[in-house]
Structure 1
Amino acid sequence: IKTYVESKKGVYMRYSDDFIIILPYEDEHEIEAYKKLFFSYVGSMKDLIHLQKEKTSCYIYKDNAIYEDGVLSQISYLGFIFDGNNKKIRPRAITRYYSRMRRKAHTIGRRNWTSPTGRHISAKNLYRIYSENRKRQTFINYAKKAKQLLALNDREADALIKRHKHKIAMAIKEAQITNNEGE
């Protein structure tokens, strides 16, 4: 498949079991021919390759927009979305980051900043895990690197990068207030 795609001056990208194929085309008939050839090849592989129909899509890129079955759409691939013009971190990933960080802060607050073994838990732990960290990869490191490498134009990721320490401080404050009200 990779060899065929490259022979057509296309792009084949794969990460584990996720892959994307980008092929140039002159008219709609070429698209149908590509799809027929690709699915025929995969079908000939019998049990070696299994495509999940619900995760298999064909998109058309035209006039800086993405279409699926004639409807304006976007491509979601490896945690990013592309609408034909903008590249962004998938919003669900950012929401998940905030949710986990707040849950951790509240758990620490409920335990009155003490670990199950009785040791004091510092707020530094939250910052170490949920802020930029030179010693280990965090979501903030990931977002910064993605912004740089992929030239993301993503206001949500920009806000996350710029204000994550403030959000951590707010989560800690919430946890303290919640814990004090519970006493």
Structure 2
Amino acid sequence: MLEIDKKISDFVKMHGGMYRRYSDDFIIILPTEEKTQEYLEQIIKRFNAYHNEGLLELQPRKTQVFRLDRQGDLENIGHLFEPKLNKLKRNINFLGFSFDGKHVTLRGKTISKYSYRRRHKAIGIAKDYKKTKGFKGSDKLYMLYSERGQNGKGNFLTYVHRVKKEFSNDPVDAPIKNNMVKIRRTLEKYQPRG
């Protein structure tokens, strides 16, 4: 953990919260109290201080702050801060998932990117089809997009299934079903004829 991460994590833990970072995305969760906004402002000031030292920069258009009440109503409160933070987003988006206050789902952008890559890899293999050799590389494609993952290492689907176990009542994996069928149909559709 970087020194900055440790400082932020310690500050957040001191106030009963949680801090997680992956690459350049991070999330801070604090319990709702009277001073929560004050704590968040202190965190933002710390980020700005790190920016002044040339270490880190918070981008107001990408930074979002939400309040979640006990009923699961999620409210973007970015407009309460200076400088004004992104107030357009209605859901918390983190690591390819979206949380609306009640349910966790895959982000539309995540699904589109996944489907696009799967389809274009299949099209590339289909266009290279040879009657004597078949779909060269299709075995790797099936493994890459199968439930088992590539060489047992895991893949996007195994990641989604781990999240599904944590949020078993949410429709996390609904849009990515039938991968093998979709690959086969794409291979058949783009296979050279004649």
Q: Percent identity?
A: 28
Higher helix share: 1
Distance 1:95 1:42 in 2: 32
Instruction: Determine whether 1:137 maps to 2:139.
Output: no
**Aligned residue among 23, 28, 53 for 1:21:** 28
Would you identify which runs of 4 or more consecutive aligned residues in structure 1 move more than 6 Å? none
Whole-angstrom CA distance in 1 between matches of 2:159 and 2:106 = 10
- On the 8 A contact 1:79/1:93 being kept in 2, the answer is yes
Deviations 1:104-148 (A, max 9, x none): 22222222248xxx9961532321222123523222222222212
SS of residue matched to 2:61: helix
1:93 is aligned to 2:119: no
Q: 2:72 — aligned with what?
A: 64
1:35 pairs with one of 33, 40, 55: 40
2: CA distance between counterparts of 1:3 and 1:129? Answer: 39
Cα distance, 1:158 vs structure 2: 2.9
Residues 44/111 of structure 1: CA separation in 2 closer, same or farther (3 Å cut): closer
**Partner Cα distance (1:81, 1:110) in 2:** 36
Cα distance in 1, alignment partners of residues 59 and 9 from structure 2: 20
Whole-angstrom CA distance in 1 between matches of 2:20 and 2:49: 21
Give the counterpart letter for 1:96 in structure 2: K
Residues 138 and 35 of structure 1: CA distance in aligned 2, closer, same or farther (over 3 Å): closer
The one-letter code of the counterpart of 2:174 is D
Is the partner of 1:55 in helix, strand or coil?
coil
Cα displacement (A) at 1:60? 0.8
SS at match of 1:4: helix
How far is 1:150 from its partner?
4.3
Which position in structure 2 is the counterpart of 1:126?
Answer: 141
**Pairwise CA distance, 1:98:** 1.7
- Contact in 2 for aligned 1:113/1:122 (Cα 8 Å): no
Residue type at the aligned position of 1:174: K
Cα contact 1:146–1:152 (8 A) shared by 2: no
Which protein, 1 or 2, shows the higher relative CO under an 8 Å CA cutoff with sep ≥ 6?
1
- The equivalent residue for 2:174 is 158
Q: Give the number of equivalent residue pairs.
A: 172
User: How many angstroms apart in 2 are the aligned matches of 1:126 and 1:35?
Assistant: 45
Say whether 1:173 aligns with 2:188: yes
Partners of 1:112 and 1:153 in 2: CA distance = 40
Gaps of 5+ in 2: 1-7, 80-86
Cα distance, 1:41 vs structure 2: 2.3
Give me the TM-score of the superposition, normalised by structure 1: 0.79
